[in-house]
Each structure stands twice: as structure tokens, then as C-alpha cells.
Amino acid sequence: MIIDIHGHYTTAPKALETWRNRQIAGIKDPAQMPSAAELHISDDELRESIETNQLRLMRERGLDLTIFSPRASFMAHHIGDFEVSSTWAAICNELCYRVSQLFPDNFVPAAMLPQSPGVDPATCIPELVKCVEQYGNVAINLNPDPSGGHWTSPPLSDRQWYPIYEKMVEYDIPAMIHVSTSCNACFHTTGAHYLNADTTAFMQCLTSDLFRDFPTLRFVIPHGGGAVPYHWGRFRGLAQEMKKPLLKDHLLNNVFFDTCVYHQPGIDLLTRVMPVDNILFASEMIGAVRGIDPETGHYFDDTKRYIEAAHIDPTDRYKIYEGNARRVYPRLDANLKKKGL
């Protein structure tokens, strides 16, 4: 089985974006604020948006299952207050849940949180609980910078985040550390802010002793870990200067990297540098890079091709495709086992 642990609902019916635009307008003019009940998207519309997009490509590429969360760039936690984020997160999570009900063999939901800059992350817990207990979510996306590129929250090692971590440990679910749209003109969203956040989050873990407080907490760093594997020597050296344990002991029981790296040399580096147990298959399809690579004639984000071509043995390939996902996402594993898979 091939599990893609990083998919977003980037192809939701247009009505979702229209509703969101009305919500944003409603921040300035409360008379325009729509209620959640005003959004109508039928099962047929959901089905079509998935069948013609993600599911079509999954079939073409031979992927079986996607861990599916709301569109990352649309989370935009910097817009409005907690109330705005809360309504928006509930809507987006419900849609991913409905997709998972319509395609139970192909999509398993992961939740966005109703984060808001300057608001205590503990306020996200009711949505998290609902998504796990009622919607069967197997993971969350945690935004380390709800300000959207101004980085006004404390690092992930700060105790303000601990209520989230306590709930994650209780449910045994991992968090993908994933920012949203940048509203800072310095940072291009998918070309700079995403990769920077990956590197930043890793370094926040490295400099802290977070995983001493939460030995079973698990973070997935997307986009191949940002700059981390390419600079693995730098990170090992910095940890050594700080008298931290070896990174394999200090971080690699808790931190994992996905394979959203869109060319063969990048995947070759990732699989060469990182222990195979820390690599999880993903493509973030349909996402930031949708075109065909003129150098290969294949989609940039068809990451399965790179894994197939990487110099790794079948046991390792199994771990990357399936085994590690079952270990890092135990609720997914339990679901699959219930189905006899």
C-alpha cells in the first residue's frame, strides 16, 4: 500500500472560497458576515472535485491513500480573530471529513486548528477533540506562525503550546508543522515561507528539550524538512556546539520528514542522509507545483517516481510508503487493521 501523508483539499468547490471572501468582508462590515449554514456544497460536488483531481492522479500514479487536510494556504490564521478562525476551521475540517466518508478507502482526514495570532493555542482544543473523536482525524496541522510571516508567536518549545501537545499525546496523533499564506512581502508563500518554517521549526526543536518533556510527541516536518537534510552537517555541528545529544537521539525519535521534494537529486539526498525510519512518503498533490518538469516529462510533484528511482532496497521502500506512516499515525494503522489491511 502507498500512503501519501501530505495532501490538502486544494480543489474544493468554488462556493467555499466565495463563502470565505464573504467572511473576510464581514470582518470589516458585520452586516455582511455569513453564517456557516449559508455554505452549501453537495456530496456530488465534493465527489466531482476529488474524482477529477486528487483521486484521478492517485490512480494514475498508483497511490492508495492520502492523509487529507484543509488547504494550507487558505488556513490564513492571520485573518480576523479567533471567532473567524474557529468558524473557518470548522467548515474546512467538516469538508475533509465528508470527503473521507465519501471515499473511505482513499482519504483519511487530518485537522487544521482555529489558531489566531496572540490567542492562547489551548483555545484550539475543542476543534481538535471534535475532529479526532467525531471525524476520525488521525493527525493535526499545527501552524508555528499564525501571524503569516511576521513570526510573533513564541517558538514551538514554549509552554504556551503544551496544551496542544498534551492532547496530541493523549490521542497519540502527530502534528505536521505547516504554515499558511505569507502576508509579509519578503516571503513568497510556497517558495520561501513554507521552507523557512520547516527549517525554523526543526531548529526550535534542536535548541530546546521539548521531547524530554514529551517523549512520545511526534512532529512531521513537510517539504522534505526545508533546508534541514541538505545542511545536516551544519545541524549536527550546531547541536554538538550546544552540547546536545547526537541528533539521532535528541530529535529523530520524534521528528519525521516527508518526501515533498520535487526532483531526483533532492530525494536522493534525503534518502542518503536521513535514517529510513524518519522518511514518510508524500507529494502534496495537488499543491504548489502543478506543472510537468520539462527535464523529465513527468509532473514535478510525482514524487513516487523519485522514490522508485532512489537507491534504496525494497524493505526501505516499504517503510517510506507504508510502514512509517502506520507507526507515526497509529490511529491510521488501527483504522486499516480494522479493515483487515
33-62 residues near its own copies, rule: CB under 8 A: none
Measured over all CA atoms, what is the biggest interatomic distance in the chain, rounded to whole angstroms? Answer: 61
CA angle at 335 for the pair 224 and 316, rounded to the nearest 5° = 40
Interface residue with its own copies among 70, 114, 117, 144 (CB under 8 A) is 144
Q: Does 155 bind its own copies (CB under 8 A)?
A: yes
CA angle at 79 for the pair 74 and 85, rounded to the nearest 5° = 75
In angstroms, the CA 271 to CA 306 distance is 10
270-289 residues near its own copies, rule: CB under 8 A: 272-273, 288-289
CB 144 within 8 A of CB 179: yes
In angstroms, the CA 103 to CA 124 distance is 27
59-98 residues near its own copies, rule: CB under 8 A: none
Q: Does 241 bind its own copies (CB under 8 A)?
A: yes
Catalytic position from the list 45, 284, 308, 322: 284
Q: Does 183 bind its own copies (CB under 8 A)?
A: no
Q: Is 133 a catalytic residue?
A: no
Q: Does 14 bind its own copies (CB under 8 A)?
A: no
Q: Does 236 bind its own copies (CB under 8 A)?
A: yes
* Segment contacting its own copies by CB under 8 A, of 74-82, 191-199, 213-221, 310-318: 191-199
In angstroms, the CA 88 to CA 164 distance is 19
In angstroms, the CA 217 to CA 173 distance is 8
Could you tell me how many residues of this chain bind its own copies (CB under 8 A)? 59
Q: Does 145 bind its own copies (CB under 8 A)?
A: yes
Residue whose CB is less far from its own copies, 20 or 223: 223
Q: How far is the CB of 128 from its own copies (least distance, A)?
A: 23
Q: How buried is residue 105: exposed, middle or buried, by Cβ count under 10 Å (0-12/13-18/19+)?
A: exposed
CB 168 within 8 A of CB 122: no
Residues lying near its own copies in the complex (CB under 8 A) are found at 144-145, 149-151, 153-155, 184-188, 190-192, 195-196, 199-200, 203-204, 206-207, 223-224, 226-227, 229-238, 240-241, 261-266, 268-269, 272-273, 288-291, 293-295, 300-301
